[in-house]
Amino acid sequence: MADYFVGNKEYFPGIGKVVYEGRQSDNPLAFKYYDPEKVVGDKKMKDHLRFAVAYWHGFCADGADPFGAATHPHPWSIDAKSPMEAAAHKMDAAFEFFTKLGVEFYAFHDRDMAPEGASPAESERNLRTLVDKAGERQKATGVKLLWGTANLFTHPRFMNGGATNPEFGVVALGAHQVKAAIDATIALGGQGYTFWGGREGYMTLLNTDMKREKEHLARFLLMARDYARKQGFKGAFYIEPKPMEPTKHQYDYDVETVAGFLRAYGLDADFRVNIEANHAELAGHDFAHEIECAAALGIFGSVDANRGEPRNGWDTDQFPISYYETALAMRAILKAGGFTTGGLNFDAKIRRNSIDLRDLFEGHIGGMDAFALGLEVAWRMMRDGKLDGFIRQRYASFDSGDGEKFERGGLSLEELAALGSESYGTAGFTSGRQEYLENLFNQYLLGVFA
């Protein structure tokens, strides 16, 4: 083994294991709500929430933006004599962080973990070497892989797309990467494999054969699925919807669009969605809307937990902090039956001017606390049943009689129309009571119904 595997330096000195201290704690490095072993309803908090850290934001992103150079210190790359050595140190830092924070999962792109080599074969070798090390670190720490993915958007060769590139050669190079990333995910026992189509879209229709590109995307995904299943992958495949950025239009626009695409190409049995809060917002939807849509369509899979800045329309990937939003999201997740293969992956980054190493901890702690409280609030609502009872009652006229007949397809339009003239003047005048429900929601949020 090369000597870049010997390092065992502490990269976050002075920060120990983050523990639960309760809501009165004034320790910024303690959990106020997230108490992993606490049972909420039928499960421990940690098993409801299944938190994951995103390798790319935590250990690769350096604070650079289109207007300025890197600002974040990366102590793991300072003394490295080669990109592979830097990658090995980065992995040590990552696993130190996962274990100190107390998350059970992480997620990564191939290029987050291993540097691109001088040829496809060398890139794959680099990945395999680092995957071996990650396997050892997983075994030693108990941290698991939520999902793996391939980065088909950073390298200049992908400027016209990955699987939807107009040049066959680039599509084939993308396949080389995806195949290796699937192998890596299987080797690490990944519970899922994600496709985020960052450049699977277009910048202008003037140079784009959209129909052909979408067919290529479907063909590519079918091939990837077949390969992974042949290799024994039992996990879930996720598509991560996003409407735009970096492309003007991304084909995986939102959950409904992805659902239609999956059905059209026979991918719906294997693929689920990985819903990101900030992407939902860019598509003009509430985060909870996307989760409920996915659940209704039977394709809810996993979540990229973050938040956007509603006034600027960028993918700012901030840590989630709004209890209102997390309570709404957790209600939708509980209604969907909770996570199976998926979890809450913090696809979130600290700000450009957050340059202390503790900032990365504090960002995650705030996000974990926000979801822990959201879970408690959502559970209180479900257990109490007032809100769900109200909704059930609102549709009660479909539970029996002609309404029930309508639901199961027992009425023709003529029969329905005849019933319509009977209900004239009486039907339709029931309040939706939104204000009452919003007030009720706030009472749950404040713990009035504990």
Tokens of 339: 């996570």
**Of residues 304, 325, 369, 376, which one binds ligand XUL by CB under 6 A?**
304
Interactions with Co ion, residue window 239-278 (CB under 5 A): 276
Q: How far apart are CA 335 and CA 285, in angstroms?
A: 18
Segment contacting Co ion by CB under 5 A, of 93-101, 259-267, 300-308, 439-447: 300-308
Which range binds Co ion by CB under 5 A, 20-28, 346-354, 369-377, 431-439?
346-354
- Residue 57 annotated in active site: no
Regarding 95 and contact with ligand XUL (CB under 6 A), the answer is no
Q: Nearest distance from residue 315's CB to ligand XUL, in Å?
A: 5
Residue from 196, 220, 233, 444 that binds ligand XUL (CB under 6 A)?
A: 196
Closer to ligand XUL by Cβ: residue 123 or 278: 278
Q: Does 149 bind ligand XUL (CB under 6 A)?
A: yes
What DSSP string runs through 332-353? HHHHTT--SS--EEE-----TT
Q: Shortest approach of ligand XUL to residue 53 CB, angstroms?
A: 13
CB-based contacts of 47: which residues, under 8 Å, 6+ apart? none
Q: How far is the CB of 384 from ligand XUL (least distance, A)?
A: 35
Is 347 a binding residue for ligand XUL by CB under 6 A? The answer is yes
User: CA nearest 323: which of 368, 262, 281?
Assistant: 368
Given the residues 92, 112, 254, 317, select the one marked as catalytic: 112
Which residue, 140, 64, 62, 60, is CA-closest to 94?
A: 60
Nearer to Co ion, 276 or 325 (CB): 276
Question: Residue 183 or residue 347: which is nearer to Co ion going by CB?
Answer: 347
Q: Residue 317 CB, nearest distance to ligand XUL (Å)?
A: 7
How far apart are the C-alpha atoms of 250 and 203, rounded to whole Å? 9
DSSP characters over 407-428? HTT---HHHHHHHHHHSTTTTT
Q: Does the annotation mark 112 as catalytic?
A: yes
Tokens of 275: 């819903």
Residue 246 preceded by cis peptide, ω within 30: yes
Least separation in angstroms between CB 345 and Co ion: 7
Burial class of 316 by CB neighbour count within 10 A (0 to 12, 13 to 18, 19+): middle
The CA distance from 168 to 290, in Å, is 33
> 35 or 304: whose CB is closer to Co ion?
304
Closer to ligand XUL by Cβ: residue 250 or 326:
250
For ligand XUL, the closer CB: 303 or 440: 303
Residues 6+ apart with CB under 8 A from 86: 76, 77, 80, 115
Q: Tell me which residues are annotated as active site.
A: 109, 112
Residues that bind Co ion (CB under 5 A): 276, 304, 347
Residues that bind ligand XUL (CB under 6 A): 109, 149, 194, 196, 240, 242, 276, 304, 315, 347
